[in-house]
Amino acid sequence: MVDGTEGREERCAEVYLKLLSDYGVDYFFMNPGTDTAPLNEVFAKFAAKGIEKPSLVLVPHEIVATSMAYGYALVSGKPQVVMVHVTVGTANALGGVMSAYRARVPMIFTAGRTPITEEGVEGGRDISVHWGQESFDQGGFLREFVKWDYELRTTKQLRTVVDRAFRVATTEPQGPVYLILPREWLMEKVEENEKRPIRIGKPTSLPNADIGKLRDIARLLLNADNPLIITSRLGRRTDAVNVLVKLAELLAIPVIESPRYFMNFPTENPLHVGYDPKPYLEKADMVLLIDSDIPWIPSNTKPKEDAKIIHIDIDPAHTPYPIWGFPVDIPIIADPSLAITSLNSILEECLSDDKLKHEDIRDRYEKIREEHNQQRDLWKKTAQKAGRSKSIDFSWLSFVVNEVKDEDTILFNEYDLDSTQIELAKPGTYFRTSPAAWLGSGLGAAIGGKMAAPPRTVIACVGDGSYMFGVPTACHWVSNKYRIPFLTIIFNNQCYNAVKRTVRRLFPNGWSVKTGNFAGVDLDPSPNFAQIAEANNCHGETVKDPKELKDALIRGLKTVREQKRQALIDVICKQP
């Protein structure tokens, strides 16, 4: 037995937590196990002594823990720490780590290790699972989906290992790292000279593009008759949005968000032309890809053979993807915000010397503005028509969400929120699920996002399938325990619609379509999700009538904003 009152001596676990505080870690998201006991003890000591950072957040499931850290980093830009239980906890959390990796979201993902020693060392094996839970290569569980993994081998290297974890996670392209912490080392007493603070380095400087290459791009843009910009996640750097707006407006270039993972461009700007690249891609003579991983689906649409394609990205080759065959004529390795800022300066200089070009730009701008207005008018009519139906359509539900939110509201969209109905004016107000498409992140990410921006209203839009994937009882428990109010809206169509659409697409004349029996996709009967939420002090409602929808959402938001309590609105939608 270890005496918890060992005086002024510090164990590795305590030094470790203090290092995390030095690195700006606000929260320590933990799903505990027998390996975390040294950390549990230190947090008790911190509470007694009034040490607030990092703050322990107990999370009853690993999926929720990784999703919360993911959402926190999306909103704040700051990586937080997740701690799970050895191999089994790592296995449960893998989907969340994969999501962070594909979305380039920094995360310090950590796990204990089954004790190495069988006897004779403090913290060694003392229960039967310590044999059954050990693996030959714990890091191998997720090595393909982290930037770096390492097992702490001695307390003497603790500071170096923590420093490296943060440097690797926050260096572009950002992403998760995996640190394994054996219990014996967390228990070990640390010598005084090992506790000195380390030099915390500044973030790595972001790369800019070669000025000569940017001048080449400027000439191509100026000479293009139908240039096009496609972006997916430029908005992960909020300062980049206004820079992109300036570029688009300088030359009247239409902007497509395909697919939209962030708020990349103001939706009401006349140069925003939606989310489907096909109508513009097929006539574009120059395509500028900016921080875009899947700009189009090759089986559905492609650029013209003679179109020039430029790609500005931290990693324009998308090296973590096993196959990525999109054509690129000029790849530019650069931070998009820096590169576009420099490109704008070059274009302004060129335009000041070419007055004749201004008339062509004005003509193109007016044409695109007219197309933008027609597009928005059609989208609005589509939603309003759906609103007159007896059942609730996704477009109508999304239209009403847009009506009740304010411009500072942060939306987390796990699939079903219809982008055509959502107006976004401010960067950092929209986050779609990761390109990894791992189900279950929406609720936890929304809670983490709310923790990163306490004054803001946060809404999680999820399907009924993704709601169940997200371990909702654990999410609602965390929200209630730590008083983190947010609104959940379930787009409940009682099926796995992505699977149903795929069956229809691949087998248009098959048995499923002929008989109407889409095996393995129906989620009917639907559980009473409102009651699940109510079990954790949550305001819960179920809505079926389109006419009652807006009032229900307003009640949910009032609960969140005024009562500082979570709310859930289960919206029964038309089954496709």
| Among candidate residues 117, 47, 51, 106, the one with its CA nearest the CA of residue 81 | 106
The Cα 369–Cα 371 span in angstroms is 5
The CATH superfamily of 211-374 is: TPP-binding domain (3.40.50.1220)
User: Residue 8: its pLDDT value, please?
Assistant: 59
Per-residue pLDDT at 7 exceeds 90: no
Per-residue pLDDT at 218 exceeds 80: yes
Q: Could you tell me the strand order of the sheet in which 55-58 lies?
A: 55-58, 27-30, 81-84, 107-113, 176-182, 149-151
HSE (side-chain half, CA atoms, 13 Å) at 467? 29
- Same-fold call for 12-194 versus 389-572: yes
Share above pLDDT 70 across residues of the chain, in percent, rounded to a whole number: 96
Work out whether the CA dihedral 157, 158, 161, 163 comes out positive or negative.
negative
For residue 362, the Cα-to-chain-centroid distance in whole angstroms is 37
For Cα atoms 547, 548, 552, give the angle at the middle one, nearest 5 degrees.
Answer: 145
Do strands 330-333 and 487-492 pair parallel, antiparallel, or not at all (unpaired)?
A: unpaired
User: Residue 238: its pLDDT value, please?
Assistant: 94
CB 404 within 8 A of CB 553: yes
pLDDT digits (tens, 9 = 90+) for 258-312: 999 999 999 999 999 999 999 999 999 999 999 999 999 999 999 999 999 999 9
Instruction: Report the SS3 class of residue 292.
Output: coil
| CATH architecture, domain defined by 12-194 | 3-Layer(aba) Sandwich (3.40)
DSSP-derived secondary structure letter, 23: T
User: Residue 201: its pLDDT value, please?
Assistant: 61
Instruction: Report the SS3 class of residue 564.
Output: coil
pLDDT average, residue stretch 227-254? 97
DSSP symbols for 297-366: -TTT----TT-EEEEEESSTT-TTSS------SEEEES-HHHHHHHHHHHHHHHHHH-THHHHHHHHHHH
| Among candidate residues 461, 471, 464, the one with its CA nearest the CA of residue 497 | 464
Please state, in angstroms and as integers, the Cα–Cα distance from residue 27 to each residue in 73, 100, 514, following that order. 11, 17, 53
Find the range with the poorest average confidence among 179-183, 199-203, 335-339, 426-430.
199-203
pLDDT average, residue stretch 505-533? 92
- Across all residues in the chain, what is the average pLDDT? 93
For residue 240, the Cα-to-chain-centroid distance in whole angstroms is 17
Please state, in angstroms and as integers, the Cα–Cα distance from residue 373 to each residue in 60, 249, 382, 383, 475, following that order. 48, 17, 14, 16, 40
The Cα 232–Cα 410 span in angstroms is 18
The CATH superfamily of 389-572 is: Thiamin diphosphate (ThDP)-binding fold, Pyr/PP domains (3.40.50.970)
Residue ranges per structural domain of the chain: 12-194, 211-374, 389-572
For Cα atoms 130, 135, 136, give the angle at the middle one, nearest 5 degrees.
Answer: 130
pLDDT digits (tens, 9 = 90+) for 37-91: 999 999 999 999 999 999 999 999 999 999 999 999 999 999 999 999 999 999 9
| Among candidate residues 358, 355, 356, 378, the one with its CA nearest the CA of residue 366 | 358
